[in-house]
């Protein structure tokens, strides 16, 4: 009887250990299917064979232009941005131990947008908004932490301080748009909605380089991340220098958010929901970083395909799609918490 119980426990442990791997595999398959749909459908129809020929360099000029010049960069950007936002959300929620902690909720996305808008409207209208987005995100981090520390730092006060700052920065963004020339304001407004229409190969290169570097940092501090999930006191007892670890993680999350915002504008919901979806799908006690990146990439790619195809030939910004889903997700969280 004891042997039977031990066998049951062993089988349960094996199933739980395989679940994250299986869930990750299913997520990647869903992402691949969404990518195929994005490559083959639209106003220009292309078969899987046509796409394969274009990717191998043997396709006709028109198919190669559409597939390689337009669709592949957009799909690659969606995957990279979704992964970056998923990782950023996982870091924020791990530090705050709160499912509502994410860059778009606590003001970092708005700060990145403000930095980028200052660059576009006041400094260099034709330059890349990446530097401004990074600086805006980092400065927002500093301000939020200063406010939270001054009023007595806690998870709830940090989130409230971020929400208040996000509202102020949104007003600043609107003011910058009113002061900008009409053409610049029109382009900036489209960018503020969150759009992948203008994603290019150079944008994808920037995203991938940033994602590789910042993900490497997260791998290096992975032990600290897992320890912080147990609470500050437990992390200190395990030898983790919590202050330095939190600073590194917040800077990494802010840079991930800034890079994503620089390319596509502020995109909501992905950083908020991807970590929680990953935790539930993969059955882990903590928030899985790899799973959050995979879920974020898949969710954003599916949302972008919907944004392109739902009202074709009209294309809507992907930020509007994720905003609608994000609102429903927040209502679900509120209802679930009350139950």
Most confident among 18-27, 73-82, 184-193 (mean pLDDT)? 73-82
Please write the tens of the pLDDT for every residue from 47-92.
Answer: 899 899 988 888 788 888 999 999 999 999 999 999 999 999 999 8
Mean of pLDDT over the chain:
83
Domains of the chain (ranges; CATH) run: 2-338 (1.10.3470.10)
Cα 315 to Cα 231, 266, 293, 301, 309, distances in angstroms: 45, 17, 26, 15, 7
What would the mean pLDDT of 171-180 be, rounded to a whole number? 86
pTM here is 0.87
Task: Give 86's Cβ-side CA count (13 Å radius).
Answer: 29
d(CA 290, CA 97): 18
Asked if 177 and 189 count as a contact pair (C-beta separation under 8 A), the reply is: yes
Higher pLDDT, 6 or 123: 123
**Residue percentage of the chain with pLDDT more than 90:** 25
Please write the tens of the pLDDT for every residue from 209-222.
Answer: 999 999 999 988 88
Most confident among 36-45, 114-123, 293-302 (mean pLDDT)? 293-302
What would the mean pLDDT of 215-243 be, rounded to a whole number? 83
Please write the tens of the pLDDT for every residue from 246-262.
Answer: 888 888 888 898 888 88
d(CA 51, CA 66): 10
The pLDDT value given to residue 128: 66
Identify the burial level of 285 via C-beta atoms within 10 angstroms of its C-beta, where 0-12 means exposed, 13-18 middle and 19 or more buried.
Answer: exposed
């Amino acid at each position: 009887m004891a042997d039977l119980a031990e066998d049951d426990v062993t089988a349960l442990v094996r199933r739980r250990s395989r679940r994250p791997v299986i869930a990750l595999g299913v997520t990647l398959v869903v992402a691949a299917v969404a990518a195929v749909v994005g490559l083959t459908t639209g106003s220009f129809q292309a078969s899987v064979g046509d796409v394969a020929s274009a990717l191998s360099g043997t396709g006709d000029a028109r198919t190669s232009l559409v597939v390689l010049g337009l669709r592949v960069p957009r799909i690659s950007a969606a995957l990279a941005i979704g992964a970056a936002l998923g990782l950023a959300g996982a870091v924020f929620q791990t530090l705050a131990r709160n499912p509502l902690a994410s860059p778009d909720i606590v003001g970092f996305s708005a700060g990145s947008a403000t930095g980028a808008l200052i660059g576009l409207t006041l400094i260099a209208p034709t330059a890349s908004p990446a530097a401004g987005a990074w600086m805006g995100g980092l400065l927002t981090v500093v301000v939020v932490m200063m406010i939270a520390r001054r009023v007595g730092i806690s998870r709830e006060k940090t989130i409230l301080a971020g929400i208040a700052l996000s509202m102020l920065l949104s007003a600043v963004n609107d003011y910058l748009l009113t002061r900008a020339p009409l053409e610049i304001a029109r382009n900036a407004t489209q960018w503020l909605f969150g759009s992948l229409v203008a994603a290019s190969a150079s944008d994808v290169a920037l995203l991938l380089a940033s994602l590789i570097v910042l993900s490497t940092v997260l791998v290096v501090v992975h032990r600290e991340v897992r320890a912080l999930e147990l609470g500050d006191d437990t992390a200190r007892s395990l030898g983790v220098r919590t202050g330095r670890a939190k600073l590194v993680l917040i800077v990494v999350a802010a840079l991930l958010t800034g890079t994503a915002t620089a390319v596509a504008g502020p995109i909501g919901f992905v950083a908020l929901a991807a970590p929680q979806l990953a935790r539930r799908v993969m059955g882990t006690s903590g928030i899985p970083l790899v799973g959050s990146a995979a879920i974020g990439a898949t969710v954003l790619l599916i949302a972008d395909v919907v944004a392109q195809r739902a009202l074709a030939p009209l294309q809507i910004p992907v930020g509007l799609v994720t905003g609608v889903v994000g609102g429903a997700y927040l209502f679900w969280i509120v209802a679930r918490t009350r139950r």
